[in-house]
């Protein structure tokens, strides 16, 4: 459902993403791993149409992000890095706005909003301005916004960042639950998260894919953090 | 169009969700009153028209409109919501237009609230209400011109102070385009046609001819095309620099 071919992004002389190719199908939860600055967020920004690639193609459910951005974007749910939301709005007003843009209306809209509010537990803060919310609640508002239209493709940039252990657990359960009929890409720097929710892991560093395989394959190589360090510091290049 | 409306509504509500709207409207009305009655000597002139009121609008807008426009895109960048907005299934045009129209509607509300002065002048005498209506439309269009320039500048910076100062500066150039301080920059070393072109960009010239009751479609067209051009530039700049 996501097809990425030779995707590159250069910022001046810096190759943030350097010719990566992969695809994600329905039912897959792809964990995007890598050190800070590896190109994870840049790749996600290109997949969701925020950044224009320097080279390569992205297609979402058959819609090319550059030639048919509206088609691709309407199939996507996206939680950007840092979960931005309008600080002056309440979660209720914010979700209502996103629902309008996503062309949900009437009963369907009310039902979907109630559903996502329940899923990410926003009941208590619906009428509070977003700027007054804690980091964990802000992240959940961002997540609610991303899954509001029940998208076929979900791109989540560090979905559990800033959540406490219980909330992390809930969000992971939510992702696993949604995984059946979606293609999900999530980035994280928490290695256990890959084991907990992902069906597949990609490790990137310096804009290149260094590992692509199942979390089980990764684990065969030894303790996760050691494997991660070995791969990303360039002692060994593996592709699965 | 439906998306533009959705964005428009969110944006306009946003003004009233913070004190920004109330501070702006109150200050706008107070300044308008002061300037008209004290600086302009509205009573002393004993003329049943609103020229003294409208004459100061270009100067009032010079400081107040950039305060509205500076946050249009700069704030989206600062809070990161620009990434959210640009990854929703809306086109760049719908976004640019929705935001601009909301800001314009907001200034229209402020302008509308000056109606007591219209009542006053009608109570005191028999003004030409056609001229007053044309002046209100002219003032509204001019506000749109300022806003479009400001929106365009706001699109290229994350810093609202920079957006404000640059917008004030550029608007000042537009106000004074018909005067020596701007014309001297271009006259002498450029062809006369260029000097004429710059002169024709003067906000003051176009606006004053409207408030004097000279209804010339060219004055309205000037503001209309300026707005269109700035919004086009806004969309292009935003597309280039949205992720910076």
pLDDT digit string (tens) for B103-122?
A: 999 999 999 999 998 998 89
Q: Which DSSP state fits A66?
A: T
Residue among B13, B81, B89 whose CB faces A74 most closely: B89
Question: By the 8 A CB rule, do B35 and B60 touch?
Answer: yes
Q: Residue A198 and residue A42: Cα distance in Å, rounded?
A: 20
pLDDT on residue A239? 45
Nearest in space to B156 (alpha carbons), one of B84, B49, B235: B235
B75 neighbors A89 (Cβ within 8 angstroms): no
Give the integer Cα–Cα distance in Å for B54 and A88. 34
Cβ-based contacts of A105 with chain B (< 8 Å): none
Interface of A with B in 116-175 (CB under 8 A): 145
Cβ–Cβ < 8 Å for B111, B65: no
- pLDDT computed for residue A98 by the predictor: 96
- Mutation pick from A47, A70, A105, A157 vs chain B, by most beta carbons of B within 10 Å, is A70
Are B211 and B54 in contact, with CB atoms under 8 Å apart? yes
What is the rounded average pLDDT for all residues in chain B?
89
Query: Residue B6 is nearest to which of A74, A81, A101, comparing CB atoms?
Result: A101
Say yes or no to pLDDT of B176 above 90: no
Residue with tokens 């084991």, as numbered in its chain = A195
DSSP reduced 3-state for A152: coil
Contact A88 B89 (CB under 8 A): no
**What is the spatial distance between Cα B189 and Cα B169, in angstroms, rounded to a whole number?**
23
Cα radius of gyration (chain A): 18
CB contact under 8 A, A80 and B242: no
Among residues B95, B97, B76, B99, the alpha carbon closest in space to that of B243 is found at B76
pLDDT at A69: 93
Residues in chain A: 240
- Please check whether residue A88 touches B, CB under 8 A: yes
Residue-level pLDDT at A234: 67
CA distance A106 to chain B (A): 15
Taking the Cβ of residue A39 and every Cβ of chain B, the question of whether any pair is shorter than 8 Å is answered with: no
d(CA B186, CA B217) in angstroms, rounded, equals 27
Cα dihedral across residues B215, B216, B221, B222: positive or negative: negative
**Which pLDDT does position A240 carry in this prediction?**
41
The two three-digit tokens of residue A197, written as one number: 């929710």
Q: What's the pLDDT band for B231 if we cut at 50, 70, 90? A: very high
Strands (E) located in chain A:
2-11, 14-24, 29-33, 55-60, 63-64, 76-79, 153-157, 183-188, 200-205, 208-213
Residues of B at the A interface (Cβ-Cβ below 8 Å)? Answer: 3, 6-7, 10, 13-14, 17-18, 79-81, 83-84, 86-91, 242-243
Question: How confident is the model over B85-107, as pLDDT tens digits?
Answer: 999 999 999 999 999 999 999 99
Q: Low-confidence residues of chain A, pLDDT below 50? A: 237-240
Backbone angles phi, psi at A235, to 5 degrees: -70, -25
B contacts of A45 (beta carbons < 8 Å): 83, 243
Distance (Å, whole) CA A81 – CA B98? 25
How far is A103 from chain B, CA to nearest CA, in Å?
Answer: 9
**How far apart (Å, rounded) are the C-alpha atoms in residues A161 and A170?**
13
Q: What is residue A23's three-state secondary structure? A: strand
A12 burial class (0-12, 13-18, 19+ CB within 10 angstroms)?
exposed
CA-CA distance, A185 to A103, in Å (whole number)? 24
Q: Which residue of B has its CA nearest to A71?
A: B89
Residues for chain B: how many in total?
244
How far is C-alpha B53 from the geometric centre of its chain's CA atoms?
16
CA-based nearest distance A194→chain B, Å: 25
Any chain B CB within 8 A of the CB of A102? yes
Residues 6+ positions from B155 with CB-CB distance below 8 Å? B72, B73, B234, B237, B238, B241
pLDDT digits (tens, 9 = 90+) for B193-213: 888 888 888 888 888 888 887
pLDDT in tens, B21-39: 999 999 999 999 888 888 8
């Amino acid at each position: 459902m996501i097809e990425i071919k030779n995707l590159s992004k250069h910022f001046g002389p810096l190759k943030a993403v350097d010719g990566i190719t992969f695809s994600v199908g329905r039912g897959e939860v792809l964990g995007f791993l890598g050190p800070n600055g590896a190109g994870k967020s840049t790749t996600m920004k290109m997949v969701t149409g925020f950044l224009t690639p320097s080279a390569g193609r992205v297609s979402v459910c058959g819609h090319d992000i550059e030639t048919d951005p509206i088609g691709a974007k309407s199939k996507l749910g996206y939680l950007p890095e840092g979960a931005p939301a309008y600080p002056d709005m309440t979660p209720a007003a914010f979700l209502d706005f996103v629902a309008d843009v996503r062309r949900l209306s009437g009963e369907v809209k009310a039902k979907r909003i109630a559903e996502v509010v329940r899923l990410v537990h926003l009941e208590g803060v619906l009428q509070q301005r977003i700027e007054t919310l804690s980091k964990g609640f802000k992240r959940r508002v961002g997540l609610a916004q991303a899954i509001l239209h029940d998208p076929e493709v979900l791109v989540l940039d560090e979905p559990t960042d800033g959540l406490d252990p219980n909330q992390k657990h809930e969000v992971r359960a939510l992702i696993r639950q949604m995984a059946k009929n979606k293609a999900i890409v999530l980035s994280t720097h928490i290695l256990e998260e890959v084991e907990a929710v992902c069906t597949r892991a990609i490790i990137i560093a310096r804009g290149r894919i260094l590992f692509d395989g199942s979390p089980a394959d990764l684990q065969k190589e030894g303790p996760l953090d050691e494997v991660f360090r070995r791969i990303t510091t360039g002692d060994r290049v593996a592709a699965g | 169009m439906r998306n533009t409306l959705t964005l428009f509504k969110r944006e306009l509500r946003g003004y009233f969700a913070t004190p920004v709207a109330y501070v702006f409207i109150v200050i706008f009305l107070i300044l308008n009153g002061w300037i008209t009655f004290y600086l302009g000597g509205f009573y002393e002139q004993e003329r049943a028209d609103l020229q003294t009121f409208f004459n100061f609008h270009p100067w009032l807008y010079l400081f107040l409109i950039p305060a509205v426009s500076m946050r249009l895109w700069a704030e989206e960048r600062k809070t990161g919501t620009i990434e959210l907005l640009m990854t929703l299934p809306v086109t760049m045009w719908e976004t640019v237009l929705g935001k601009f129209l909301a800001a314009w509607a907001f200034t229209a509300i402020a302008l509308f609230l000056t109606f007591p002065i219209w009542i006053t002048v009608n109570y005191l005498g028999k003004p030409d209400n056609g001229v007053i209506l044309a002046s209100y439309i002219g003032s509204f269009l001019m506000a749109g011109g300022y806003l479009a320039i400001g929106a365009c500048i706001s699109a290229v910076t994350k810093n609202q102070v920079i957006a404000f100062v640059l917008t004030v500066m550029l608007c000042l150039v537009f106000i004074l385009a018909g005067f020596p301080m701007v014309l001297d920059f271009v006259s002498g070393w450029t062809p006369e046609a260029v000097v004429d072109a710059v002169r024709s960009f003067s906000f003051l010239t176009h606006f004053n001819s409207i408030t004097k009751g000279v209804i010339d479609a060219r004055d309205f067209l000037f503001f209309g095309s300026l707005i269109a051009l700035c919004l086009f530039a806004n969309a292009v700049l935003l597309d280039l620099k949205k992720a910076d």
